[in-house]
Amino acid sequence: MKRELGIARCGLACCICTENVDCNGCGSDGCPDNELCENKKCSIAKEISHCYQCEENCMKGLLSKIKPYTFTLFAKKYGEEKLLDCLERNEKNGIVYHRSGINGDYDDFDDVEQLMNFILTGVR
């Protein structure tokens, strides 16, 4: 885990991403579609660093996908540090963020509450 990379603006976990080893997290040149990112543009316009800091409950851009949406809701509810703590614990316990391409154990859900509980407990 590269905790210093933290959570992307949209909620994706840069800290445990293995898609691009040269990427330095959200906003870096290594992040795919960095210049086209709707969530980045929106959060910059609102002068916030992350979507979880926004009062709106939107599903724009990557927030239309369950994983970043739920990670964002988790950070809103519990804070980014708690999210990072849970992701780190889960990784140590064998939960994989990217197992096949960009899909992993956090992508096996279609219910926000079930995924939120999985992040929190590490148990399906």
pLDDT of residue 81: 97
Which pTM was predicted? 0.91
Q: How far is Cα 89 from Cα 54, in angstroms, rounded to an integer? A: 27
Full pLDDT tens readout for the chain, 124 residues: 999 989 999 999 989 988 777 777 777 766 767 778 899 999 999 999 999 999 998 999 999 999 999 999 999 999 999 999 999 999 999 999 988 888 899 999 999 999 999 999 999 8
Amino acid identity at 118: F
Are the C-beta atoms of residues 108 and 66 closer than 8 Å to each other?
Answer: no
pLDDT of residue 119: 98
Domain range list for the chain: 3-121
pLDDT of residue 51: 95
Question: Going by C-beta distance under 8 Å and a sequence separation of 6 or more, which residues neighbour residue 3?
Answer: 15, 84, 88
pLDDT of residue 29: 67
pLDDT of residue 52: 96
